[in-house]
Amino acid sequence: MASLSAYIERSSTIDLLMRLLEVPGLSGQETAISQAVQAELIAAGVPATSMFNDDAHSRIDLPCEIGNLFVQLPGTKPGPRIMFSTHLDTVPICQGAKPILKDGQICTDGSTGLGGDNRTGCAVLISTVAALLKHQLPHPPITLLFTIREESGIQGARYLDTKAVSDVEMCFNFDGKVPAELVTGAVGQETFYVEITGLASHAGVAPEQGISATLIASKAIADVHAQGWFGKIQKPDGYGTSNIGIFGGKKGLAAGDATNVVTDYVYLKGEARSHDAEFNSRITAAFQAAFEKAVNEVVTIDGQRATLKFTIHKAYPPFHLEDHSPVVMRAVDAAKFIGMSPITKSSNGGLDANWLVKHGVPTVTMGAGQHEIHTIKEFINLDEFMDGCQLALAIATQCGQE
C-alpha cells in the first residue's frame, strides 16, 4: 500500500471543490464553469495557451453557449498520451446550490441539489494537474477534457472535435460514487418518438366517426407489455429495458381538449436500453410493430385509420472493455497501488465513455464521492473524494505500472 496524500493537500482541495460547487452551469449554459475551471488551472500553473474550447456546440441541436474545454499538457517523460475527462454541466435541481461543509461531507440546505455530479470530477482533474506541476512529478503527455451537455443526452462527448483526441490512447473519466468501482461497460440507448394523428368527433353523439389516438397508443403499450418488451426485458437471446416516459399532446400540452371529444392526436417519447446494440434495436422494433398493429385495429365506421409517425434516434452506443485491456489494467494497478480493492462493473446508464469509446478512445469511468445525485438529498463523501484525487494522481504518474 502506498499513499500520494502528501502531494494533495486536503483542506485546499476541498476549498477548490467548494468554490466550483457555487458556480452555475446548467446544460447548455456552461460558460461560467468553463471559465472558472480555466482560472483554477491557470492559478495552478497551466499556460492559458494550452486551453481551448472546441466547436461541438455548433453541431448540437440544442441551445449551447460554448463548446467542450480541452487542456493539452506535454509530458515530462515518454509514454502514450492519456486523457482525464469529466463533464461541466449540472441538472436544474442544482441551480442556486449553497454547499455546506459538515461532518466529513458537503451537502446543501435541502432546498436544492448540490452539483457534485459533476463538480467532483472537475475538482479531481484540477487537483491532479496542480499536484503534478507543484511537485514536478513525472508524467506522460496528458489531455484534460471537460464536456458540455452530458446531462442532456451526452451531447458534448458525442460531437466533440475528434482531432483533439486523435493521439490519445486511453482515458479516465471521473463521474460516479466510489473510486474503486471501475465502470468498463455501459448500455446503449435508442430513443423513439411516436406521433399518432387520429380523427376528432363528438364522443357522445358520434364516437364511431372518430379515431381515438389515445386508444391506439394504449393498445400498443398494452401489446408490448404482453409480449414482454416493456420495462425489464429478459429474452432467451438478450436482455434490456424500455419505457414510455412521455404521453402527451401538442407542444407539451395534454393529449386531447375535452372529455366529449375523441382525442385526435397524441405524442409519446420512449427509450430502449441494452448492452447489445442489435438487441436494443429489436426492442425499438417491437414498439414500432405494436403501434403499427394498433393503428390498423382502430377504424372508423367508414374505414378510416389514423396516421403514425415513428422516429428512432440512436442516443448513444453500448460498449464493453475487457479486464485485460491496457486502460483497465492501468486503472486497476493504480487503485491497488494506493490500497484500494478495485472491481470492474457495467452501468445501466449512459456515460461520456459511451461516445469516447466510439471515437476510438478506450475509457474507464470511476467515482469521486458523489451520492444521491439529482435530488435534494445529494451529498459528497469527502474521504471518497480525496481517494478519487489520489487515484487520478496514481494513474497520471503511472504508479503501480513500473
- Describe the chain by its helix, strand, coil percentages, rounded to 5: 35, 25, 40
Nearest to 46, CA basis, from 146, 115, 159: 146
Measured at the alpha carbon of residue 172, what is the angle toward residues 166 and 175, in degrees to the nearest 5?
125
> If you compute the radius of gyration of the chain from its CA atoms, what whole number of angstroms results?
24
Q: Is the dihedral of CA 137, 35, 145, 88 positive or negative?
A: positive
Q: 197: which residues sit within 8 A by CB, 6+ positions away? A: 213, 264, 265, 306, 307, 308, 309
Q: How far apart are CA 354 and CA 185, in angstroms?
A: 8
**Any known ligand binding at 384?**
no
Catalytic residue, from 150, 190, 378, 384: name it: 150
Q: How far apart are CA 64 and CA 31, in angstroms?
A: 9
- The reply to whether 150 belongs to the active site is yes
Nearest to 366, CA basis, from 381, 347, 339: 347
β partners of residue 70 = 52, 145
Nearest to 373, CA basis, from 89, 102, 90, 154: 90
**Any known ligand binding at 264?**
no
Q: Is the dihedral of CA 59, 63, 65, 68 positive or negative?
A: negative
Q: Which residues participate in the annotated binding site for Zn(2+)?
A: 117, 151
Q: Which residues participate in the annotated binding site?
A: 117, 151
Catalytic residues: 150
